[in-house]
Amino acid sequence: MSSKVIHAIYNDDDVLMSAVKEVRAANHHIEEIYTPFPVHGLDKAMGLPHTRIAITAFMYGLVGLCTAMWMMNYIMIENWPQNIGGKPSFSFFYNLPAFVPIMFEMTVFFAAHLMVITFYMRSKLWPFKEAENPDPRTTDDMFLMEIPVTGDEKEMTAFLESTGAVEIKITEKH
């Protein structure tokens, strides 16, 4: 099902930020904003909820830590114990100081790699995916605010022009 959306294009991030605040104050829903670079505070201005990605990073780090501990215990204590530098090879606890760097590195490795995979899956990105950018100028120097048309198009267009939009287009969203 297709519906109409308004694409309001801005040429300055400060103008965009004030426009987002005005549009939200007027109780209009902002579907998406496309920017050429991250705009600090835009997520709060849009009213987006906080991300839970830090929680997943912590959980992935714990998986990496547990994997490292299991791997070192299995390899160095149970499967193939060796006397390296006079360290006892019968206890994980006695070897713990030597294992700390490995546990740290595995924690960071798992957290980083699994976070990238989670980001790509959550964003529905994969190799060779076609871009969904409605206007190619948003990768250079323009900012685009996408708002669904719910009422009078002319009234909404005039309102967006008053917020500082340099160009306004009404298109069908697929």
Mapping DSSP onto H, E and C, the string for the chain reads CCEEEEEEEECCHHHHHHHHHHHHHCCCCCCEEECCCCCCCHHHHHCCCCCCHHHHHHHHHHHHHHHHHHHHHHHHHHHCCCCCCCCCCCCCCCCHHHHHHHHHHHHHHHHHHHHHHHHHHHCCCCCCCCCCCCCHHHHCCCEEEEEECCCCHHHHHHHHHHCCCCEEEEEEEC
The number of angstroms, rounded, from the C-alpha of 170 to the middle of its chain's C-alpha atoms is 28
pLDDT tens across the length of the chain (174 residues): 458 899 999 999 999 999 999 999 999 999 999 999 999 999 999 998 988 889 999 999 999 999 999 998 898 878 887 777 776 677 777 778 888 999 999 999 999 999 999 989 988 888 888 888 888 898 889 999 999 988 788 888 999 999 999 999 998 876
The pair of three-digit structure tokens given for residue 61, joined into one six-digit string: 């780090």
Question: Quick one: fold of 3-50+131-173?
Answer: Alpha-Beta Plaits (3.30.70)
Where do the domains of the chain lie?
A: 3-50+131-173, 53-122
Q: How confident is the model at residue 45, as a pLDDT?
A: 92
Q: How confident is the model at residue 106, as a pLDDT?
A: 97
